[in-house]
Amino acid sequence: MLKQYLQLKLSQKLSPQQIQLMKLIQLPTQAFEQRLKQELEENPALESGKENDEYEDSYDEYDNTKEEYDDNEAIGADEINVDEYLSDDEIPDYRTQANNYSADDEAKTMPYAAGTSFTQHLISQLNTFRLTETEYEIAEFLVGSIDDSGYIRRELTDITDDLAFTQNVFTTVDEVEKVLQIVHDLEPAGVGARNLQECLSIQLHRKDKTPATALAISIIDDGFEQFSKKHYKKLIQKFGITEAELKLAIEEIERLNPKPGGSYAGNNKIVEHVVPDFAIRIIDGELELTLNGRNAPELHVSKEYSNMLNAYKESVNKSKAQKDAVLFIKQKLDAAKWFIEAIQQRQQTLFITMSAIMHYQQEFFLTGDERKLKPMILKDIADEIEMDVSTVSRVANSKYVDTPYGTKLIKEFFSESMKNDQGEDVSTKEIKKILETVIEEENKRKPLTDDKLAQILKEKGYPIARRTIAKYREQLDFPVARLRKKI
């Protein structure tokens, strides 16, 4: 049996314009410029740069009247109110907008040197060796298997199989091993190693033979496990040496490069340049926030499109072609109006959000001391500026701010809170900074264990569990106490 009934339900739906606005807010400066360029190319009704004075009466960009329409519903040309897109206002609102774009903000293209790739650099060195045709093909394949760090991470049996299947070179593992020794003679020293032990050994065998170097070779070749775990007493007993001799050998090892390919390969990578979206300066003891001028482009509606609307309005007999044209013009003008308004809203949202963060963390921005960072979560800022948490998140996750203490990612200013012994909320970043200072100042001959670190922080007024200390220590990229030991 079928029954009909009415049900009332409230739901919130985002319009396409709102979705696009959120995407615009999320974009950092460089990506925003690309999006702006794309919009200018796709919408002929939108133009950049200052509008000529003779055009300033033609169009009011900020007309509050908007006509909603459904793309699936046919719109008659007679239904279009052309006056919505034309204005007699002598000075449109956008002409009164201040723009802090300066010559210093001009986008400059940076040329990059082509250079030689790491693999090409190694292959060019093979020409200095006398190799048979087969040996050269094997050596070239081995060089092609070296990663950016300078290592061959694959088993020689797999390489032998690949040579047969892909290069039609039939050889043996012993022959590949023999050619690999030739690859080990290439520069930089240590390239082509299969593991860290082999990499360090290759470099040490290239050095001048001194007592310290000879001992270092013995330690790497015969006592690498004890060395990697810093069991120094076992090494002293095993090799019958003094602590001073061991210290000299370790100093030789510490001078080696654990990633021989990194120094060369990294030079040919294009570095991503961070463009700060904001700048904070201290002027007369007060903080001053500015938005990067590249986020505030000058846009206006095309004069040509305004003239088209005027011509349509003045024409007596409106042909079908004119009606079709005015429908197209209407869509482009709607898009241009919305895009200009969206950019303004983006600028306002960015500035308000960053201003709230700046004032919330005022002590840090005035001093640069990370211990002055207050506990702050997204909701704190969202409540203050009366916006949604997702909006604050979009600003914080992808924007950078130029401060007197360096360029910082905005999300780094957010942190959770913990209670100190006074019952006050303190930032976890403050605790991490103190922990980092304690570890850096410890006696490296007797590094502090996590239990000892927890006790020290408790004495400083931060009662934290040992497992929390271990978590913070790992986040700060400090190893356990045993691996921090030095002699």
Residues spanned by CATH 1.10.10.60 within the chain?
Answer: 418-487
Whole-model pTM over 0.85:
no
Residue 477 backbone class (left: φ over 0; alpha: ψ -120 to 50; beta: rest):
left
Mean pLDDT of all residues in 114-143: 84
* pLDDT score recorded for residue 11: 57
List the beta bridge partners of residue 152: 146
Tokens found for residue 229: 């775990």
List the beta bridge partners of residue 427: 417
Percent of the chain residues past pLDDT 70, beyond the cut: 80
Confidence band for 131, pLDDT divided at 50, 70 and 90: confident
* pLDDT score recorded for residue 305: 73
Tokens found for residue 207: 């050095």
CATH of 418-487, one of 1.10.10.60, 3.40.50.2020, 3.20.20.140, 1.10.8.60: 1.10.10.60
Please report, for the chain, how many H helices and E strands are present, in that order.
Answer: 20, 8
List the beta bridge partners of residue 426: 418
Mean pLDDT of all residues in 464-469: 87
Interstrand relation of 286-291 and 406-409 (parallel, antiparallel or unpaired):
unpaired
50-77, pLDDT tens digit by residue?
655 443 343 343 343 333 333 333 334 4
375-411, pLDDT tens digit by residue?
888 888 999 999 888 888 888 888 899 999 888 889 8
| Sequence-distant contacts of 406-409: CB under 8 A, at least 24 apart | 407/274, 407/276
Mean pLDDT of all residues in 441-458: 88
Residue 267 has pLDDT above 70, yes or no: no
Check if the beta carbon of residue 339 is closer than 8 Å to that of residue 43: yes
* Rounded Cα distance, 484 and 229, in Å: 10
* Rounded Cα distance, 134 and 132, in Å: 5
Say which residues have a Cβ less than 8 Å from residue 385's Cβ, sequence separation at least 6: 352, 353, 356, 392
Higher pLDDT, 184 or 325: 184
193-210, pLDDT tens digit by residue?
999 999 999 999 988 888
* Rounded Cα distance, 27 and 485, in Å: 45
